[in-house]
Amino acid sequence: MIKETEGRAGIEGLKLNVNGHRAHYLKAGGGPPVVLVHGGASDSHDWFDTMTALAHRYTLYAPDLIGFGQSDRNEVGYYLSDFRDFMLDFINALQLEKPALVGHSFGARVCLDVAFQNHELARKLVLVDASGLGKVTRFGSALTTVFWALRKLFRRPQPFPRFLAKEGEDYDQVSIDELAGLTAPTLLVWKRHDPYLPLSIARRAEKLIPGARLEVLPGYGHAPHQQNSQAFNRLLLDFLDGG
C-alpha cells in the first residue's frame, strides 16, 4: 500500500493492488466502513465534501474505479462485470466488514451489481441519481455526446474508459426480479429535475425495492451530493445512523 497526500486535511490518497490492478482511493475518518463510488465521468474527488462531513462518524473509502482517475486503465476497455468484480475485490482487499455502499450515477449501477452478487455484503445501500434503473433521456444522451466531442476537439482526455458490452449485460436496466430481491436497507436520493435520469425512474424503483425510501432534492442537475451537499450529507448521515 502506498500513501500519498491530498489537498484537504484528514483525507489520505492511497494506492492498493486489487487483483493485479493498481488502484487509487481516498480514505478519511474512523468508525464503520462506508464505500463511496463515483459516477461515469468523474473520480473519487467528487466525494471530498461528503468525506469531510461524515469523517467524525464513519471511515470513508472512495476508490477510483478501474479505468478512471488515478487507477489503472487499459486500452481495450471494460465490461460491466469488470467494474463489479473490481469493487468486490477492493472491499475484500481492505477486509471491510459489512460496508455501506453509496453510489452516484454509474457508480450506483456498480453498487447494485455488487449487491446482486452478494446479498449479505452491504449493510446499507444508497443510490444517488442512479444508472441501471431506466434509460437515459434523449436530451441526456445528446449532452453526453456533446461533452465527449468537446473534450476530443480540445484534446482533453476522456474521464472514462471504453465501455464494452456482452450478452446479458444491460447498462441501462437491471431486472425487476433483481430489484425485488435486494435485502439491504436502501435509500434513493434524486434531483427533482435530472436531465439524464428523470425522477420517474426513482419513483418506480422505490416501489420495486423492498422497504426503499426516496428523498428528492430541489433544483436541476445530476449530482445532489455536490449541488446540494449540505442537505445530501444530512440525509446520508441520518440514514447511515438509523437502525
Domains of the chain by start residue, with CATH? 2-241 (3.40.50.1820)
pTM: 0.94
CB-based contacts of 147, cutoff 8 Å, min separation 6 = 41
Q: How confident is the model at residue 141 (pLDDT cuts 50, 70, 90)?
A: confident
Pairing of strands 125-128, 163-164: unpaired
| The predicted structure's pLDDT at residue 9 | 62
Confidence class for position 59, pLDDT limits 50, 70, 90:
very high
For residues 190-195, average pLDDT? 97
Lowest mean pLDDT of 2-11, 87-96, 159-168, 234-243, name the range: 2-11
Q: What is the pLDDT of residues 104-135, one digit of tens each?
A: 999 999 999 999 999 999 999 999 999 999 99
pLDDT average, residue stretch 192-197: 96
Q: How far is the C-alpha of 184 from the C-alpha of 117, rounded, in Å?
A: 13
Q: State the number of CA atoms in the 13 A half-sphere of 40 facing the CB.
A: 23
Weakest mean pLDDT among 154-158, 209-213, 231-235: 154-158
With helix as H, strand as E and coil as C, how does 84-128 read?
A: HHHHHHHHHHCCCCCCEEEEECHHHHHHHHHHHHCCCCCCCEEEE
Cell numbers found for residue 239: 440514514
